Amino acid sequence: MDEQPGLSDQYRMASPWPIFVAFGIPIAELGILFDVFVVAVGGLLLFCGSLTGLIREAGYAKTAWRPLAAFAVLLLAIGGALVVTDVNLVTRGYAIITAGAFLAAVGIGGELFVPKRGTV
């Protein structure tokens, strides 16, 4: 009799990324909603990094660096829109811009300095 029914080598293992996506969304929302800079930046980094992991794991991207850079551009655009408009959300926009800048630095740095697989 099987010790672990339903488990087999032919089935995929569970992905760790959905739980981080689920934590990243509310953390980022709470930080942005209540204007807590560090929490907003950390939540956005967790959320975007987790989505990048999902994209990489699903095979939609060869590396994680370009999706990180794409999320950086998206965050920089949203944060910039909040900063330059007349709505009173300037510090929230700066938090989103900061998260975008971190993601851009990691995405660009990874693309430039991390060796590609299969090359020496």
* pLDDT tens-digit map of 62-102: 999 999 999 999 999 999 999 999 888 899 999 999 999 99
Q: Which positions ≥6 away from 38 have C-beta within 8 Å? A: 31
* Distance of alpha carbon 12 from alpha carbon 76, whole angstroms: 35
Query: Quick one: pLDDT band at residue 4, thresholds 50, 70, 90?
Result: low
- Residue 116 is predicted with a pLDDT of 80
CA 16 to chain CA centroid, nearest Å: 14
Query: Quick one: pLDDT band at residue 56, thresholds 50, 70, 90?
Result: very high
Q: Which positions ≥6 away from 110 have C-beta within 8 Å? A: 63, 64, 65, 68
In angstroms, the first-to-last Cα distance of the chain is 47
Q: Which residue has the tokens 């080598």?
A: 9
Query: Quick one: pLDDT band at residue 54, thresholds 50, 70, 90?
Result: very high
